[in-house]
Amino acid sequence: MNKKTIITVLLVLVTIAGQAQVPLESVKELTMKSEYFNHERQLLIYTPDNYPNFDQTYYDVIYVFDAQDRTMFDLVHCLLNIACKPDPDGGKSTNFIIVGICSPTLWDINYFRNHDYLPMPLHGNTGLFKEGYYYGKSPDLKKFVKNELMPYVKTHYRTSGRSLGIGHSLSASFVLDAMITDDLFDDYIAISPNCAYDEYRLATDIENHQFKNRKAPRFIYASMSGEIDSGPGFWGDEWKAGWERVSTFLKDKAHFPENTVTSVHTFPGYGHYNGFMPSLTTALNDYIVFGAKNLVSYVGEETYPVHIELRGKNLTDTIYITGNQDALANWEAKGVKMTLISDSIASIDLHLHLPAQFKFTRGSWEREAIIKNADAGNHIIHDAEHTTRIYRLWERNPWMEEGQ
């Protein structure tokens, strides 16, 4: 699509939004019982605006740790909305379901944040693992996320199956550790991780991991602020040495397959806490770029039968579907002709590689469809469980040139 086309789409959507009541963003607070803990887990779940209306959109999920600090959780969805540049081709949305996982402070049962994010030590009771300190439950938190939380989110929300984990400080260490031990998420953002605990255990595990075994695209982001700078904000030689080992490894593309994107940044002059926002802003922007360049074009090896319909009024012209693979004409505007079932329904049955991403046109990008019940950057069939899609045109401005 050209720049004029993109601007036209945005103007039409803004006009439509002004004419209709748009469901607002929502944050739900809930607690979950878990077989892995003697206490309930507190959670926050954010859904983007128009989530109830966009019934044909299945969203990627971001899991944010340390969400008991509500600022960190809220920054994720706020920055996605106001600080992230959208994909200029409209292929990657900035809308996500965001799940905040709170770590508790429970004096009555002597359970605290560090319990969540630290494993049992391998090298004796020193540092964070001194007797009387809090550690050892990180394997259970991974099990909770994988076996209880993720199935709950999948059951109660429209999710794509793709996930991103975000952590800061010790929860950033947890996120990286979960990548090594459990392959818990698809993508990872680790801000100011502690890479030195337990005699550089995390750094060693990362250096020894076989990252090239993964075939699907992956995004790994890691950053450090002024903790490694000389001066009052310096966190010590061990902290710096651990980070240098991890950052050096992640920067070396030889350790990763071509479709794994690593992004490593430092933010000198910022402290451990106030470095979170500039780093997160960079991370999320890098992530959107990664999605636009790597996820839109990626498809799996198997094909699956899919049924797609486009519904609207007076569908008398030839309607095409085009998308990210040969069977969808590889984004040629005059793609694959759909069958007119009636003057209100066009349909097509195909065998597609998944994820299948597509759009509808009347033969050119200047005549692209404007869909009422799906995110503009998310016409995607992600998995074999949801291979029937029914899209509806906007009644007032169903095609782009009609909104000019």
Domain 33-295 has CATH 3.40.50.1820: yes
Distance between CA atoms of 169 and 280, rounded to whole angstroms? Answer: 13
pTM for the complete prediction?
Answer: 0.91
Q: Let me know: does 32 contact 4? Beta carbons within 8 Å.
A: no
* Dihedral sign computed on CA atoms, order 308, 58, 282, 185: negative
β-pair partners for 220: 188, 262
Domain ranges of the chain: 33-295, 303-403
pLDDT of residue 3: 43
Tokens for 391, please give them. 């899209």
pLDDT of residue 169: 96
Interstrand relation of 345-353 and 339-342 (parallel, antiparallel or unpaired): antiparallel
pLDDT of residue 127: 72
Q: Which CATH superfamily is domain 303-403 in?
A: Immunoglobulins (2.60.40.10)
Q: Cis omega before residue 398 (within 30°)?
A: no
Tokens for 341, please give them. 């079932």
Q: φ, ψ for residue 124 (rounded to 5)?
A: 95, 170
Distance between CA atoms of 332 and 15, rounded to whole angstroms? Answer: 28
Q: Tens place of pLDDT for every residue, the chain, 404 residues?
A: 444 444 444 444 444 444 456 788 999 999 999 999 999 999 999 999 999 999 999 999 999 999 999 999 999 999 999 998 876 665 568 899 999 999 999 999 999 999 999 998 888 777 777 666 777 899 999 999 999 999 999 999 999 999 999 999 999 999 999 999 999 999 999 999 999 999 999 999 999 999 999 989 999 999 999 998 877 778 888 999 999 999 999 999 999 999 999 999 999 999 999 999 999 999 999 999 999 889 988 999 999 999 999 999 999 889 999 999 999 999 999 999 999 999 999 999 999 999 999 999 999 999 999 999 999 878 999 999 999 999 999 999 999 876 54
